Amino acid sequence: MLDGARGEGPARGAAERHAVVVGGSIAGLLTARVLARHADRVTVVERDRFPDGAEPRPGVPQGRHAHVLLEGGQRALDELLPGFTAELAAAGAPRVGMPADMVQWQSGRWVRRTAPTSHLYTGSRAQLEHLVRARVLADPAVTAVTGAEAVGLTGDARRVTGVLLRERGGSGGAEPERLAAGLVVDASGRGTRAAQWLRALGAEPPAEETIDTGLAYASRVYRDRGGHLGTHAQAYYVLPGPDQVYAGGVLPLEDGRHLVVLSGLRGDEPPTDEEAFTAFAARLPHPFIHDWLREAVPETPPYGFRRTANVRRRYDLPGRRPAGFLATGDALCTFNPVYGQGMAVAALGALALREALDDPRRAATTRRVQRALLEASRQAWDISAGADRRMPGALGTAVATPAADRAAGWYLDRVQRRYQGDPVVGRAFRSVLTLTAPVSALFAPAVARAVLFGPEPATPQGPPLRAETAG
């Protein structure tokens, strides 16, 4: 296993190789799936009790809010769990073709609804996690310990040898249980406490890069009474930007209902009061979402969420850190949820872990594997951080624009003024945003010609309620 470490099994001195994954999130479950190929057993430690079905759970505080599975994440999931997206579709998760199936506004322009070049799944987070959990825990090498909280690591600054567990809700004075392992992976999410755990071993926590726009959002489930959403479009979305900071969306769920999300920045957050939630939608640059809300039937109260900062923990940089410990998912790099990247990056990270562990040419050292995990999140970070640096009031240690980004900024601004109306630029732009192509796709010859020499294309004057027909 990693660094050649062999952990103890239930009996002291046993040669069984054991890995522990802290967190039963999508990232944690997919990590366990990969590690089961290399360890004799994998234990997933989760604070929550897993629900029997596709239900939200407390340990996913944003679980009631909008989630999309980008195409890059779809491809990674099918690599890790063959046939997964077919199973997701069979379970009813809506598949939205971009840009044909969505009425979308960004940067002062409506996006032409031309033939789709990429697709999103917009079903609930609970449904997708339930399907992943069922597939992963069907592997006899993977065991889940639920209702247990990881409270620390065992070992020292040179090597981690396991985790300390305590029953969730138990007596704070109880002695934690030691669970030995040759590898511990932190997939505990945005609220990770790994920095404290590492300090307790005499090791160094990673440096953190942060960018926080103060974005907050609120979500509510509705049923479409008028039938116009789903007839002319599957979804509506208004994206925020430096000149227009409010966002809103109406996305289809697997049960025929729609999830509505509204967002604003620090000091102007969307309310969770029912009447005020609807009124807040009137701040969007066009009334089409507000009008839909006034006709639709609300089926849940509004739920709010405010922890939306981009945070990247630089385990890849030099420091006194132990072998046998990795971070992944939101515990490594977390993004402003408005960009919908989290689930895709969780899957891409697990795929990067598999490739690093399977590589016969190089030893799977902790540092090399951790760098591979960070690299899997780099493009998503560049997209999210690059956009949020430009938002008014952004705070954090990484808000300064790197010199390389400043040099490319002029070109990328031209891309964004053309993608809404130019199908060639739009196709490349969406491939980058959905993590199916590298940023270099924006510099391909046909794209560069349109960006550098073509005029700004015409876009619809109002919300395009019907998709364009071919020919």
> Does residue 272 belong to any structural domain of this protein?
yes
CA 459 – CA 471 distance, rounded (Å)? 17
344 with 266, same domain? no
Domain total for the chain? 3
Residue among 290, 429, 418, 315 nearest 366 (CA):
315
> Does residue 361 belong to any structural domain of this protein?
yes
Query: Which residue, of 305, 321, 349, is where some domain finishes?
Result: 305
294 with 201, same domain? no
> Does residue 466 belong to any structural domain of this protein?
no
**Confidence check: pLDDT of 471 > 60:** no
Query: Which residue, of 354, 384, 414, is where some domain finishes?
Result: 384
356 with 330, same domain? yes
Instruction: Give the pLDDT score at 1.
Output: 60
pLDDT class of 290 with cuts at 50, 70, 90: very high
167 with 222, same domain? no
For residues 69-90, average pLDDT: 98
CATH of the domain at 169: 3.50.50.60
360 with 296, same domain? no
pLDDT tens, 2-34? 654 333 333 333 325 999 999 999 999 999 999
> Does residue 185 belong to any structural domain of this protein?
yes
> Does residue 220 belong to any structural domain of this protein?
yes
- Cα 452 to chain centroid distance, Å, stands at 32
For residues 67-75, average pLDDT: 97
**Confidence check: pLDDT of 302 > 80:** yes
**Confidence check: pLDDT of 217 > 90:** yes
Instruction: Give the pLDDT score at 66.
Output: 86
408 with 364, same domain? no
pLDDT tens, 35-44? 999 999 999 9
The percentage of residues in the chain with a pLDDT greater than 90, rounded to a whole number, is 85
> Does residue 69 belong to any structural domain of this protein?
no
For residues 222-241, average pLDDT: 86
Instruction: Give the pLDDT score at 73.
Output: 98
223 with 279, same domain? yes
For residues 451-464, average pLDDT: 94
284 with 371, same domain? no
Average pLDDT over the chain, rounded to whole? 92
262 with 284, same domain? yes
CATH of the domain at 232: 3.30.70.2450
> Does residue 88 belong to any structural domain of this protein?
no
The percentage of residues in the chain with a pLDDT greater than 70, rounded to a whole number, is 95
146 with 279, same domain? no
> Does residue 199 belong to any structural domain of this protein?
yes
360 with 442, same domain? no
Per the structure, the complete domain to which residue 247 belongs is given by 214-305
pLDDT tens, 188-202? 999 999 999 999 999
322 with 277, same domain? no
Query: Which residue, of 279, 305, 331, is where some domain finishes?
Result: 305
